[in-house]
Amino acid sequence: MPVQARAGPVENREVGQGWDARAEVGDRVFRPRPATAKASGIACAALLALTLVTGSRDLLWLAAVPFLFVVQCFQSVHVIGNYARRTGLRAVQIDLSTATVKATGRSWWVELFFLGRCLELRDADGHGLLLESWLWPQAMRDELAERASASRASTDGAREPHDS
């Protein structure tokens, strides 16, 4: 006899299996750059080791910065149909068919060190998706911006002009 009884059939597959149950061919899952996670992890470990060696707790505050970069690397962006959903620290779901590019982004060092604007997509409901260049690969950011522009162009082209 099993320890726990089996669950019965699921009425709503999306709830029972999670958001990815609706995945179709052509849908994508994007992850942050592995180089960002590795560099941040090494920097955090080095600063923690220095904290232990020197006995100074001042370096512990410096170790928190690369640790926060490592935590950001646990995010992912799932693109399913016309929707993009970021999971992780700042979870958001936007409709790419109504999304517009509000900011195109800058190079990673400008965004990171000089507080430059990153790629920002915003849909008709006001939901925004920010994609930092130091965290997300350029090809992924280009693809999402292109999908938002293509979806927007196809919906704008499908509208018929109003007769006055």
pTM of the model: 0.66
Secondary structure letter of residue 9 according to DSSP: -
Secondary structure letter of residue 24 according to DSSP: -
C-alpha–C-alpha distance, residues 36 and 22, integer Å:
30
Angle at 105 between CA 100 and CA 107, to 5 degrees: 160
Q: Give the pLDDT band of residue 66 (cuts 50, 70, 90).
A: very high
Per-residue pLDDT of 29-38, as tens digits, reads: 888 888 889 9
Could you give the residue ranges of the DSSP H alpha helices within 99-137?
108-113
Per-residue pLDDT of 69-91, as tens digits, reads: 899 888 899 988 889 899 887 88
Per-residue pLDDT of 7-30, as tens digits, reads: 555 443 444 444 444 545 458 888
CA 17 to chain centre: 21
Sorted by where each starts, the structural domains of the chain and their CATH numbers stand as 31-74 (no CATH), 75-156 (2.30.29)
| Residue 50 token pair | 């220095």
